[in-house]
Amino acid sequence: MRTPSGDLVAALDIGGTKIAGALVDSGGALLRTARRKTPAEGDAAAVMGAVSAVLDDLAGAPEWPGVRAVGIGSAGPVDASRGTVSPVNIPAWRGFPLADEVRRPAGGRPVVLVGDGVAMTAAEHWRGAARGRDNALCMVVSTGVGGGLVLGGRLHAGPTGNAGHIGHVSVDLDGDPCPCGGRGCVERIASGPNIARRALASGWRPGPDGDTTAAAVAASARAGDPLALASFDRAARALAAGIAATAALVEIQVAVVGGGVAGAGEVLFAPLRQRLREYAALSFTADVEVVPAVLGGDAGLVGAAAAAAERVGVWGGV
Amino acid sequence: MRTPSGDLVAALDIGGTKIAGALVDSGGALLRTARRKTPAEGDAAAVMGAVSAVLDDLAGAPEWPGVRAVGIGSAGPVDASRGTVSPVNIPAWRGFPLADEVRRPAGGRPVVLVGDGVAMTAAEHWRGAARGRDNALCMVVSTGVGGGLVLGGRLHAGPTGNAGHIGHVSVDLDGDPCPCGGRGCVERIASGPNIARRALASGWRPGPDGDTTAAAVAASARAGDPLALASFDRAARALAAGIAATAALVEIQVAVVGGGVAGAGEVLFAPLRQRLREYAALSFTADVEVVPAVLGGDAGLVGAAAAAAERVGVWGGV
């Protein structure tokens, strides 16, 4: 019988909307969870206060003594080599020393920081749709677009923990300026808010409930609305070009797509698979598969735990 | 004193214009060279005949008994896992079993096949501008655009030997169709023939010598011709977007740019560095350097030898 007290990892998932935490066991189950809203206003300390509150909740659980390491997946960019984060969606944190700040409440346990795209990738490679795949791109398409890479059977986080940053690959060099400073980035075209923005700009109108999110556009697309379909097709083209670029650059077998926008299902995946055939036409890119992520909203927590477990050697290395 | 007879590698560089060969020593020097034109017409056997003639020349050299391995760098795509090549610019070869065909004249020596972009990268990492860099993209900008990656201090060839294929990364998802089947590829915008084509289409006219190559466009650009400058700037934007994409996906420190078009010098490099600042704006991509390749036309041969030496363990692993 497994002794739970000996093999847990505490995980933090830091995003622009919420800060989530969990105690994760060697099977990937979340034994305890906690969460706070990310303070929309206030300074760096206010955001750190929310992180501390989540950690306090976890530390109050009876399983806490069994925690061997703390894994953090944070919205990016991060600098894993310095332990700092500068999330685009958390303006109060620029070069914020998150790993150091977590070290004290972690009580001396090792702290491992990765970008949220890398964390999601660790999760899908460990227990999800990229399991058993040696070369994979995993993506989250949501308010933003993030991702991570598995190369040669291992997470490829890169020197600063940001590799796989597909949301800010430019696929339209004459395209709209992106908040990152670039132009025509995948995120600028394919994120949920941009799908909704483009639909509205083209004349699409919401239903009686007034919902103008990408989910509402998806519902219209499923009902056959041509403007809604066109906005999803444009997102699919950007995602396809980004996946094809990744395949040409590092040779992947599969692209795993998760996040809220992936929840649109075939409204996204059907044009995405079709467009990928157009952009990935080389002999070694033409067979790249596109599959939905399977871990959903917990992937960030499961993956932060997996990345820490791999680095620290808990669970015999994931 | 080094005994040359014990440590040579025979190298082949297979392109759409010429087939070159050399005997390479452990210092990267080409002791013997041979070359034939690539037959523009004729079947697969005709092209192989030119390869055999080059190998015969090399095998006639007094140093041949000291050859330990044969390295082949071929125009791509290649399939290193099967030993086959399907070069876009050599239509007679589709799935041609080049490694097998070379094995007999190689007289039982190991034969290592890589794409020409990977070969050039091996050369620049071994003895050129990427020496000492753990994460680099090396590119050839010429009739086509090829490339290769160094990740974590080692060549990253990918399962089929095609990784780093930056010429067929789409940076303009609405752009012109590319012969590869994609659209808006870096090569479709930044190769020499495309620089020349775009200049002519915009109204640029050659000088009295009638030269309409990219080199002539470069000479006009150096003299301040605005149409020639505009065509190089467009190429620079495409290359910058491709380099920025690579930096976002795998975190590189440096992009090494060689090939005939790089011979234009600052006419290419000045706008390339400027445009790269626009497209690579993330914290972990903003410091990517762009430097010229240093090995010139011999990089394909030196790199094919280096890749084979690393794989086979000649020279103690390069």
ipTM: 0.91
B296 pLDDT tier (thresholds 50, 70, 90): confident
Domains plus CATH for chain A? Answer: 4-115+298-316 (3.30.420.40), 129-294 (3.30.420.40)
B40-92 tens-digit pLDDT: 888 999 999 999 999 999 999 999 999 999 999 998 889 999 999 999 889 99
* Interface contact flag, A169 B248, Cβ < 8 Å: yes
Residues contacting residue B150 through CB under 8 Å, at least 6 positions apart: B121, B125, B130, B133, B134, B135, B136, B138, B156
Q: What are the phi and psi torsion angles at A227 (to 5°)?
A: -70, -40
Name the residue among B134, B182, B237 with its Cβ closest to that of A244.
Answer: B182
Instruction: List CB contacts (< 8 A) between A248 and chain B.
Output: 162, 165-166, 168-169
Cα(B129)–Cα(B149) distance, integer angstroms? 13
Which residues neighbour B205 within 8 Å (Cβ) at sequence distance 6 or greater?
none
Terminal-residue alpha carbon distance, chain A: 20
Q: What is the pLDDT of residue A4?
A: 42
Closest listed residue to residue B162, CA positions, set B218, B119, B212: B119
CB nearest to B246's CB, from A182, A249, A278: A249
CA dist., res. B37 & res. A230, Å (int): 49
Query: How far apart are the C-alpha atoms of A287 and B77, rounded to whole Å?
Result: 14
pLDDT of residue A47: 97
Give per-residue pLDDT as tens, B182-218: 999 999 999 999 999 999 999 999 999 999 999 999 9
> Could you tell me the pLDDT band of residue B1, with boundaries at 50, 70 and 90?
very low
Least CB–CB distance from B249: residue in A135, A160, A164: A164
Tell me what pLDDT residue A146 has: 92
Is the CB of A158 less than 8 angstroms away from the CB of B250?
yes
Summary mean pLDDT of chain B? 94
Q: Find residue B172's DSSP bridge partners.
A: A172
The answer, yes or no, to whether residue B5 has pLDDT greater than 80, is: no
Cα atoms in the Cβ-side hemisphere of radius 13 Å centred on A211: 10
- Give the distance from residue A57's alpha carbon to the nearest chain B alpha carbon, in angstroms: 33
CB spacing of A249 vs B250 below 8 angstroms:
yes
Instruction: Indicate the SS3 state at residue A56.
Output: helix
- In chain A, whose CA is at the least distance from the CA of B137? A249
pLDDT exceeds cutoff 60 at B119: yes
**The pLDDT value given to residue B6:** 61
Residue A224 · residue A230 · CB < 8 Å: no
CB-based contact A228:A179 (threshold 8 Å): no
Q: Strands across the sheet with A154-156, in order?
A: A154-156, A145-151, A136-141, A254-258, A289-292
pLDDT in tens, B241-282: 999 999 999 999 999 999 999 999 999 999 999 999 999 999
User: Residue A244 and residue B169: Cβ atoms within 8 Å?
Assistant: yes
Per-position pLDDT tens, chain A of length 318: 444 446 899 999 999 889 999 999 999 999 999 999 999 888 999 999 999 999 999 999 999 999 999 999 998 889 999 999 999 889 999 999 999 999 999 999 999 999 999 999 999 999 999 999 999 999 999 988 999 999 999 999 999 999 999 999 999 999 999 988 999 999 999 999 999 999 999 999 999 999 999 999 999 999 999 999 999 999 999 999 999 999 999 999 999 999 999 999 999 999 999 999 999 999 899 999 999 999 988 999 999 999 999 889 898 755
Rg (CA), chain A: 19
| Residue B283: pLDDT band with limits 50, 70, 90 | confident
Q: A49: buried, middle or exposed (CB in 10 Å: 19+, 13-18, 0-12)?
A: middle
Contact B165, A249 (CB under 8 A): yes
